[in-house]
Amino acid sequence: MSSPTGTAPHVPAPRGGIAQSFSDSLVITKRNLIRMSRIPEMILFGLIQPVMFVVLFTYVFGGSMQIGDSTDPDVYKNFLMAGIFAQTVTFATAGAGAGIADDMHKGLIDRFRSLPMARGAVLTGRTMADLVQTALTLLVLAVVALLIGWRPGYAAPTDFGKILLGFALLLLLGYAFTWIGALIGLSVRTPEAATSGGLIWLFPVTFISNAFVDSSKLPGWLQPVAEWNPFSATVQACRKLFGDPGLSPSDAWPMQYPVWASLIYSVLIIAVFRTLSVRKYRRAEG
């Protein structure tokens, strides 16, 4: 009687680096989108918060804010929307960090590590899924803004192409900030810590800026901080592209060339924090 011969399980041979990384990232993106669709309350709460910000800031502060020489609530409403859009996309950072920390806590990341897949694909897939959710939130928020009176071209002529470019810059900034969230999620031990760590630094970044007030009204020592803030560059770029009011003259380069500044800032943040996140992921693997 012959003994059965054992055979090793077949492990697919890895493909080329870029092709494998792209394919694996899409698989992880799909996995995270399916997971999000099965937790509708997560999407619902993500939509409610920015809508509340729009309504509260518009109707609570709208009549008391001075933009230029005007205290007209409609002027502030149109001034505000670019800042609310930018705040919404950057707050996705906390969700990205909490999601990755949750996967780490449950051991799911360890399972991914046992598979023949590109190491950066797990993080890229997660950030891409968050980008899709952010785009959905931004679409709903834009509809709400139009309903309450936001009008592109209110202060300066614009066109549909410029408006699309403005939203593209917002999504790029949001994607860049999710890589900061990814690094935070890999650096803490619980999802709760990732949520707190993802929000605590966002408040000074978003409020020491030109998002909610004219930066020229800030104390003198805070004005350069606000004007060189990457968040402010995107807000200023969107106001310019949307034709919104509030483009105060400034000698700071990011305020003079906000579209280029927004693009450069976002690309640099992605390059730096993606590198750090993947390195952190590989180090944890070892």
Collect all residues with Cβ–Cβ distance below 8 Å to 89 and sequence separation of at least 6.
Answer: 134, 138, 170, 171, 173, 174, 177
Mean pLDDT of 32-50: 77
The CB density around residue 185, as the number of other CB atoms within 10 Å, is: 33
Mean pLDDT of 14-26: 71
pLDDT for position 34: 84
| Per-residue pLDDT reduced to its tens digit, 196-247 | 887 888 889 999 999 888 888 888 889 999 999 999 999 999 999 999 987 7
Mean pLDDT of 135-156: 90
Mean pLDDT of 118-140: 86
> How big is the CA angle at 17 (ends 108 and 28), to the nearest 5 degrees?
30
More confident residue, 69 or 221: 221
Nearest in space to 138 (alpha carbons), one of 212, 49, 60 = 49
Is residue 242 within 8 A of residue 163, CB to CB? The reply is: yes
Mean pLDDT of 111-139: 83
pLDDT for position 10: 44
Collect all residues with Cβ–Cβ distance below 8 Å to 258 and sequence separation of at least 6.
Answer: 233, 234, 236, 237, 239, 240
Residue 127 has pLDDT above 70, yes or no: yes
pLDDT for position 285: 54
Domain ranges, ordered by start, for the chain: 18-285
CA distance 147 to 145: 5
Signed CA dihedral, 24, 26, 27, 29: sign only = positive
- For the chain, percent of residues with pLDDT exceeding 90: 32
